[in-house]
Amino acid sequence: MRFVDTIHGLNEVFETDIPKGSVVLVTGAAGTLKSGFTFQVLSNYLEEADEYGLYVTLEQGKENHLRNMQSMGIKLSRKLHISDFSDYRITYSDFPEDLLKLLEQNILDFRRNTENKCTCLVIDSLGALYSLIDIEAKELRKRMYRMVETFRREGLTTFIILEEDKYSGMNDSATGAEGYLADGIIELGLHFKGSVANRYMRIRKMRATAHSMEPWILTVSDHGLKVYKGNF
């Protein structure tokens, strides 16, 4: 199973698979299916692999998250462990000063507990993580880079969800300051044509991978998300 075989039509966007060990930003405004897209990729991939994954949710509780996935026809693989941040709140009455270090250690501990069979990771979302850390922005990005680089060297394929404040058009080439973290950027958005809005996905970049640069329609079916070529 390849990552690009996990969503119907995604293998038409990519000629080759997302390289394992990559760090991929999944960006977009609210309502563009960032969590659903990333969850389906990991869950379907893990269902066919002798591997495990970790989905760290920093905004929604586990049960709400699962209900949202179920409403979109997305199934949960038992090999994908969901860790919501209430786990950390129960263990630690106050957030430690170096929250990134705590998060990194918990992720690496989970990997060790699976005898290094945990190969995939999602952090949902980067904005929520930033909101819990009260340090200067430049220093925060340095620490974030060090943590992500640790995951890269561990061979973890890491998806980081980054919510944008506004709906950006398909002609907007900005990727945000966090682009420096990533080997790949998957943009999810909304395209408006008159009174009709279509969700779309586009690959901004993906190192060591052949892929389309055009937008593709992203839709919800009874059996999860689907990607197909559309007229914009």
Token reading at 66: 């699962």
Token reading at 108: 């690496």
Domain boundaries, the chain: 3-228
pTM of the predicted model as reported, rounded to 2 decimal places: 0.92
Report the percent of the chain where pLDDT is more than 90: 71
Higher-scoring residue by pLDDT: 101, 69: 69
Sorted by sequence, the CB contacts under 8 Å of residue 98 that are 6+ apart come out as 143
Higher-scoring residue by pLDDT: 174, 33: 33
Q: Which of 46, 56, 33 is nearest to 102 (CA)?
A: 56
Residue 174 has pLDDT above 50, yes or no: no
Per-residue pLDDT, averaged over 208-217, amounts to 96
pLDDT at 176: 58
Higher-scoring residue by pLDDT: 96, 27: 27
Q: Which fold has domain 3-228?
A: Rossmann fold (3.40.50)
Q: What is the pLDDT of residues 52-74, one digit of tens each?
A: 999 999 888 899 999 999 999 99
Higher-scoring residue by pLDDT: 60, 111: 111
| Angstrom distance (rounded) from CA 91 to CA 99 | 13
Per-residue pLDDT, averaged over 200-220, amounts to 96
DSSP H helices in the chain:
10-13, 34-47, 62-71, 86-91, 99-113, 126-131, 137-153
